Amino acid sequence: MEQGTTRLQSAAERLQAAIDRLEAILEERLAGGDSPSGQDGETAQVLQTALQEAEQEKAELQAITEEVSARLDAVIERLQGALEDAG
């Protein structure tokens, strides 16, 4: 189970890094006011890349969450069965 936790923690950290990058770009853009159109295109590309990374991280986190949930359900069923057998 520790490996799943490590994967989940790693995915959450990558997602947070992507969000941090988006926030930094947004703050820079708001602080900078008007920028030349060439920079706007670069900013849009960076934002698009960060968004794609965040979406990928979200999908990975959802998959991990589903896996952990299924494992927990299986453990609960085994424990309930053991309790019924003991009682």
11-60 per-position pLDDT tens digit: 778 888 888 887 787 777 777 765 545 566 777 788 788 888 888 888 88
User: Is the entire prediction scored with pTM above 0.95?
Assistant: no
User: Are 86 and 44 within 8 A, CB to CB?
Assistant: no
Say how many CA atoms lie within 13 Å of 60 toward its Cβ.
Answer: 18
Which amino acid type is present at position 33?
G
Select the highest-mean-pLDDT range: 1-5, 24-28, 63-67: 63-67
